Amino acid sequence: MSNFFAARHISRRFCSDGTRPPSAFLRSTRKLGGKLSPADLRRCSSSVLSALPSSTATDRPRNAATPSEHERMKFPAAAVALTFALASTSSRISTPAHSFSLNMMSTQASSSARTNSRAAVGSKDASDDGGGGGRHPLDPIGRNFDNSWLGQLDPEDPSNRIKSLSYARGPENEDSLNRASRPVFNGHFVEVAPTPLRNPRLVLYSSDVAERLGLTEEDVTSEEFAKFFSGDVKGAFESHEESGHIDTRTWATPYALSIMGTRQSHNCPFGTGDGYGDGRAISVGEVVVSPEALDGPSSARYELQLKGGGRTPFCRGADGRAVLRSSIREFLASEAMHHLGVKTTRALSLVVSDGPNGNTSRRPWYSGDNKRTLPSMDDPRLARFSDEQKRQLLSQLAVQSRGDPDVMIMEPNAITCRVAPSFVRIGHLDLFSRRATKEMKSDGSGPKLDPSTPEWRELEKMIWHAAFREFPAAAYDPFHEKDDIVGAAKTLLNESMEAISTMIGGWIKVGFAQGNFNADNCLVGGRTMDYGPFGFVDEYNPLFAKWTGSGEHFGFLNQPQAGFANYAILVESVMPVIYEKLGEEEGEKVQSEIMEKAQETFQRKMDEVFRLKLGFDTDDAAADPVWETVEKLLRESRADYTMFWRRLTEVASEFPTLSSEAYGDMLDLLCGSDEVREGSSPFHEPLDAEYRSKFLKWIQMWRETLKLSDSSSSGDNNEVAERMRKNNPKYVLREWMLVDAYSKASKGDEYMIAELLELVQRPYDEGTEEQEKRYYRRAPDEALQAGGTAYMS
């Protein structure tokens, strides 16, 4: 073909100009109407808030180039980029006297904590499942290793490894162990052994995941299990009678970085893009579980990956470790997402390096004094603005006024084993596509697509492997024997489109903000991963994010746009093989059709979210203006996202007859009362007369629209209420809960971890009286201000 380079930008065009996915809920929030215009907001910023301390927070990810204007999804009040001097705390780091350390628990306490953890996931007694009997505890996984990544893909070429060692950074004795930071110029993986933790102790595990792998309670609580999942992979099998025949190879993978549809390389420590990859995640095996074990029609493959397993060539100077605090967050969040019904990686185990001789790392974090301060509605500097304009300004400040850590703390190392059918990232395909087309020129001159190069073969292998791992029945089995890579690639793109858009729709449904949604953090199979900078929405803001580096482009309601940009990178990465086979004209046609379909798919998934949350059918467009109206009210009234939707569900349940006009009673039920139970109202401030009137009108609009729509039959609201209950969770994993849990764990009290694990398994249920009292509430006001809870870096 003649000029693939020019045609490849079709996918970029779709995510960068006016054709970005125009979700209905976004259309409603783009216009400022009679309120402050973007220019007005920028002009007023310095004069209104110049007295506030300057912020140290950044408005973009630390490893990101600033997205161009067309790469940002626009919102009215919240999404307009402001240039205020923001309230913040000092970024100066000091070393306090205290440290984050895990005290040794007594045998009784430790046993109690683990028992509660198992009870939380409904494990069964080991005597019931055939465990023990002299069988090695790791037999179910050791005998079923089938590492397709190593079998189907290519290792790093030895000559390239020697070349890269001249760039190596790190301890001299680590080169032989493949743990020195260095560029990796070719190959789909490098073999690297985890660095075992000292004094490993199992803190938490999921019996559901363990059972899927064929592991019993006795297996999981064995010494061998703690060894293996703390990084001592070979040592864990030393006592196995067939230890010499078990595949204990472990590996890390390279991938590329793309942010909001823009390919990056300059942030790589070597300036080439060859230094990105699994910096602290090491895969320790793929386990194929038989149909009999799964009680299903076919076998299943699960990859086991240790997060925090030590340095790899991609660690970029860091220590490759995770700490207990972040590991607790990762474990609980991934399990919470699973039970919320959002596709995700799972967590099998959490192992900590215990005791005074355990491994530790020093990390920057937040002191108790690190809090953001925002002006109030009656601040004299805001006097010349209307109440609505004040709310706009304060909403934006809440997003931007987030400080960096101000102390260094010592924390115990821990390793979480995350489990998924596959960890194939868009970044994997992105990397090998770049290499296969790196010699091409934008003006059409220079080399053309060349399927004879080693780089091209690596790209083709990566595409086949992604199809095999993620969509074997649809994208691999029908095409592989015929060597039809075009059919496989097109099917892969269609399946991934559906999966990624569905995942993001799930995020919006449950109020989840991933925080750093680059293409390397986006799995081809549409599975949530990388629970580092995540957060669940407390006070509603369309640009909500916990991470100070999220910027506007990774804000809560901008995630569909970020996901679409990631998908565009996937399309751009796979299209070379289609262009090479079909030619330029047909290739452009295929690419345009795929991107147009993707727009429609992402749009449809976003439309469905709020239709369901409001009790309508997925295809009932009558719900769209109802959402558009209430979205504005939620922004302006300081509403808790989760509690508002669940309270609205209660209204639907308590007033089942849609012809009822008891709108005042409905509003009272929606608002709840902090006098009855603290934090039980979804509103951080009581509604004044103006907003009570607005919400009354909106409730009437919502009910009358439902009554006239096809989403309810015969005016019966029961089906509406049930639809809402299934789409509006009562419990999500809020940051103040996690802070409480990991703070207690740092002092040896691990009970709350197990308590939260039990809670998040039934997020749509009413819960016990104690659970409702403790956890069905909006975030305490101090949690919306404190560093490490309201925001983090």
Positions annotated as catalytic residues are: 520
299 membership: H or E segment, kind and range: none
Residues 95 and 408 sit within 8 Å (Cβ to Cβ):
yes
Rounded distance between C-alpha atoms, residue 287 and residue 296, angstroms: 16
Contacts 24+ apart (CB under 8 A), 103-107: 103/746, 103/747, 103/748, 104/354, 104/355, 104/356, 104/748, 105/748, 105/750
Residues 405 and 92 sit within 8 Å (Cβ to Cβ):
no
Instruction: Using DSSP, state whether 141 is helix, strand or coil.
Output: helix
Residues 513 and 556 sit within 8 Å (Cβ to Cβ):
yes
Rounded distance between C-alpha atoms, residue 577 and residue 391, angstroms: 51
Report the relative pairing of strands 281-289 and 300-307 from DSSP bridges: antiparallel
DSSP-derived secondary structure for 457-512: HHHHHHHHHHHHHH-IIIIIHHHHTTT-HHHHHHHHHHHHHHHHHHHHHHHHHHTE
Residue 126 carries which DSSP code?
A: G
Rounded distance between C-alpha atoms, residue 494 and residue 590, angstroms: 12
Report the relative pairing of strands 346-353 and 407-420 from DSSP bridges: antiparallel
Residue type, 293: A
Residues 778 and 643 sit within 8 Å (Cβ to Cβ):
yes
Rounded distance between C-alpha atoms, residue 515 and residue 549, angstroms: 8
Residues 202 and 236 sit within 8 Å (Cβ to Cβ):
no
Q: Which residues contact 608 (CB under 8 A, 6 or more apart)?
A: 505, 618
C-alpha angle 641/647/652, rounded to 5°? 130
Rounded distance between C-alpha atoms, residue 549 and residue 532, angstroms: 12
Tell the residue number behind the tokens 């799930």, with chain if given: 506
Positions of E strands within 360-423: 360-365, 407-420
**Through-space distance between the first and last CA atoms of the chain, rounded to whole angstroms:** 47
Q: Locate 602 and state its tokens.
A: 């992402």
Rounded distance between C-alpha atoms, residue 564 and residue 666, angstroms: 38
Q: State phi, psi for 640 to the nearest 5 degrees.
A: -75, 125
The partner residues of 371 in beta bridges, in order of sequence, read: 786
Residues 389 and 45 sit within 8 Å (Cβ to Cβ):
no
